[in-house]
Amino acid sequence: MTKKLKLCVAGLVHDHVWGLLDQFGQIGSVEIVAAADYNPPLLERASNLYGIRRIYRDFSEMFEKEEVDIALVCNENARHADVVELAAENGIHVIMEKPMAANLSQARRIVSASERHGVKVLVNYPTTWNPGIQYSLQLTMEGKIGDIFHIRYRGAHAGPREVGCSPYFYRWLYDKELNGAGALMDYCCYGVNITLWFLDKLPSRVWATAKNLVRKYIPVEDNAILLMEFDDAIGVAEASWSQIGSYPIHGPIINGSDGTIIVTDDGKVHVWQVKNSSDFRDIRSESIKPPTPPKGYRNGPEYFVQKVLQDEEIEKPLNAKFNMAVQEVLEAGLQSVERGTIINLPL
């Protein structure tokens, strides 16, 4: 019989928490037993939706009193490290929503705590479970488009409040200390995560710009671009909280020496390949519906439970060390914005 894992929820102020709890609720080997948050209405909602009866206002009290295996961390970015340290001290594995932290120092604390106490930490990026992105990675690893020299990903919508995020969520997204920045931290993190995943290395230099161009009522940037320079490639991460309407290509767009791959928002993977290396006008193109990911690779909770039960390592682009590297690139981007200069890595 499969072991029943007990799950607690540490933080409910990230709106993705409800979808993640739905996914955990569909896994027969998981029991959701407790939740902690500062906001009574959110605790009441969690109790009503998921039958959680043991609720706390204090994270440390919950970790001390509850015998659990997994903590789902969905509080503010800047408070991830505090909660992970408490969970790790109690031998609890952690899955948190992206990004890893608000700054590099906090990310390093998370890695240190996980290694010191031997617990697994997963940073959940929804893009990881996109069938088109998974299939694109497979194609690039098979050499279908040659050597990658350019990757671009754009994360964008009209803004957290404008698209219907709860006040519990958007209030801290608009707080530089709690979020780490504005749109840059919220959405450039996707492009950085994907670029480092596909290229499997750190850039040597980073340049970024971030400005409040449209949403003048918020105190942080609503648009940003972060450029990553590698020895043989360029990565582009774009972010916007002021884009009106659906954008057909968030991406990624992956350009290689022998072809191009584009993942569009309709779920299709579009591939262009040179048929004859002596004639770059001779191109084969196709639009592919990617295969459905196998069980265990369809969403973060499913993957994490599998790794905990089987005591296996968390893979890229989800593990703590990998996402500390993502955080280092984001930190370089923030330094670039502040100083108006190119920032060399490692920091």
pLDDT in tens, 51-94: 999 999 999 999 999 999 999 999 999 999 999 999 999 999 99
Same domain for 117 and 221, yes or no, is no
Task: Note whether 118 and 262 are same-domain residues.
Answer: no
3-class secondary-structure state, position 69: coil
Tell whether 342 is covered by a domain.
no
Other CB atoms within 10 A of residue 130 CB: 18
Distance CA 154, CA 281 (A): 28
Identify the residue whose tokens are 């001390």.
Answer: 64
- The reply to whether 300 and 289 lie within a common domain is no
- Is 9 a member of any domain? yes
Identify whether 329 is part of a domain: no
Cβ atoms of 222 and 213 within 8 Å: the answer is yes
Q: Decide if 75 is inside a domain.
A: yes
Cβ(320)–Cβ(326) under 8 Å?
A: no
Domain assignment present for 346: no
Residues 177 and 287 in one domain: yes
Q: Which domain holds residue 164?
A: 127-293
Half-sphere exposure of 268 (CA within 13 A, CB side): 10
Whether 147 and 61 share a structural domain: no
Query: Does 323 map to a domain?
Result: no
Residues 230 and 254 in one domain: yes
Q: Quick: pLDDT tens for 218-247.
A: 999 999 999 999 999 999 999 999 999 877
Q: Are 64 and 180 within one domain?
A: no
Same domain (yes/no): 93, 224: no
pLDDT of residue 200: 97
Asked whether residue 242 falls in the same domain as residue 208, the answer is yes
- Do residues 159 and 233 both lie within one domain? yes
d(CA 318, CA 96): 10
Looking at the structure, tell me whether residues 42 and 63 fall in a common domain: yes
Cα separation, 150 vs 199, in Å, equals 10
Same domain, 237 and 186: yes
Task: Check residue 118 and give its pLDDT.
Answer: 98
Q: Is the pLDDT of residue 212 over 50?
A: yes
Residue 97 is part of a domain; what is its CATH number? 3.40.50.720
Looking at residue 2, its pLDDT comes to 63
Strand partners, 193: none
Q: How many CB atoms lie within 10 A of CB 249?
A: 14
Query: 345 in a domain, yes or no?
Result: no
Distance in angstroms (rounded) separating the CA atoms of residues 106 and 102: 7
The answer to whether residue 114 sits within a structural domain is yes
User: For residue 8, is pLDDT > 70?
Assistant: yes
For residue 1, name the pLDDT band (cuts at 50, 70, 90).
very low
Residue 268: CATH number of its domain: 3.30.360.10
Stretch 191-206: mean pLDDT: 98
State how many domains the chain has.
2
Cα separations (Å) of 41 from 44, 163, 237? 5, 21, 36
The reported pLDDT for the residue numbered 276 is: 75
